[in-house]
Amino acid sequence: MDEDKLIHAARHGDIEAFNRLVVTYQDSAYTVAYRIIGEPDGAADATQEAFIAAYYKLDQFQGERFKSWLLRIVTNACYDELRRRKRRPASSLDGLENVAPQPDLDLNPAPESPEQHAQRRELYQAIQDCLNALPDDQRVIAVLVDVEEYAYQEIVSITGLPLGTVKSRLSRARARLRDCLRGVRELLPSEYRLMDE
């Protein structure tokens, strides 16, 4: 069954049809949530909240691209989660004990040694830390553009921000990421170490 039929069935209360959409998009949704929140449990909570909200808001879906519509809800759920964490700072300490989520192994088919694997994990964590250091509004844009590789107009659609705001926030986020990654130069692959020389 194609996506439109699943959406149509879910709109009429078919929760199984909606769950098939969930299975299709849950990795993307969770990835965005994790990159924005930077912590596995919070990302899982935000993702779950987003799917529940999407199910009950299906009447508002206007036939646009479903993934964009879903990620808009995920982004809002992430904002809610971040606000919740700022109100309860102690809960953010839980994230230090969490292990970073497993990457999708299908995207890394090349075999690597345990040392290489550890270095790669360390690099990912360093990049994630730089993302986490960004202000929330800049981080959301950076994740949507540089992680999910959305076009600017899609970002406008997802966030509801003007195009100029998206551009300026993205350029500031990239400048900060550049400066941050210079600090972890020793973790970067050799081709990237050249960029500050």
Partner 1 sequence: MTPNTLSDRDLELLSAYLDGELDDRERSDLESRLAGEAPLREALAELRATVELVRELPRLRAPRSFALDPAAHGRRTPWWQRVLASGEVLQLAGALGSAAAVMLIVGGLLLTSADTEGDSAVLQSTAAALPTQVGFVAEPTEEPAESIFRFEPTTTMPAPIASPLAGADTIQSEDDGASVFEGEMAADAASGPPGAEMAPPPGVVETFGAAPAEPLAAGQAAQADEGAPMESAANSAAIEEQAPAPAPMLQAEQAEQPAPPSTAVIIVPTGTATPTEPAPTATLAPTAVAEKSPLDEESAQGAAPAAEDRADESDRGNTWLVALGIILLAVSIALFVFGRTKARRA
Residues that bind partner 1 in the complex, under the rule CB under 8 A? 11-13, 15-16, 18-19, 22-23, 26-31, 34-35, 40, 44, 47-48, 51-52, 55-56, 58-59, 101-105, 107-108, 123-124, 127-128, 131, 142, 145-147, 149, 151-152, 167-168, 170-172, 174-175, 177-178, 181, 188, 191-192, 195-196
Give whole-number Cα distances, 141 to 44, 135, 158, 193, in Å.
Answer: 20, 10, 10, 25
Q: Based on CB atoms, which residue is closest to partner 1, 82 or 154?
A: 154
**Rounded to the nearest whole angstrom, what is the least distance from the CB of residue 115 to partner 1 in the complex?**
18
**Rounded to the nearest whole angstrom, what is the least distance from the CB of residue 138 to partner 1 in the complex?**
12
**Rounded to the nearest whole angstrom, what is the least distance from the CB of residue 120 to partner 1 in the complex?**
9
Buried b (16+ CB within 10 A) or exposed e, 88-114: eeeeeeebeeeeeeeeeeeeeeeeeee
Q: Cα separation of 194 and 20, whole Å?
A: 45
CA atoms within 13 A on the CB side of 137: 9
Q: Is 141 left (phi over 0), alpha (psi -120 to 50) or beta?
A: alpha
Q: Based on CB atoms, which residue is closest to partner 1, 86 or 98?
A: 98
**Rounded to the nearest whole angstrom, what is the least distance from the CB of residue 64 to partner 1 in the complex?**
20
Q: Based on CB atoms, which residue is closest to partner 1, 147 or 161?
A: 147
Calculated CA dihedral for residues 73, 77, 78, 83, nearest 10 degrees: 140
Q: Based on CB atoms, which residue is closest to partner 1, 54 or 89?
A: 54
**Rounded to the nearest whole angstrom, what is the least distance from the CB of residue 169 to partner 1 in the complex?**
10
Closest CA to 170 of 146, 154, 147: 146
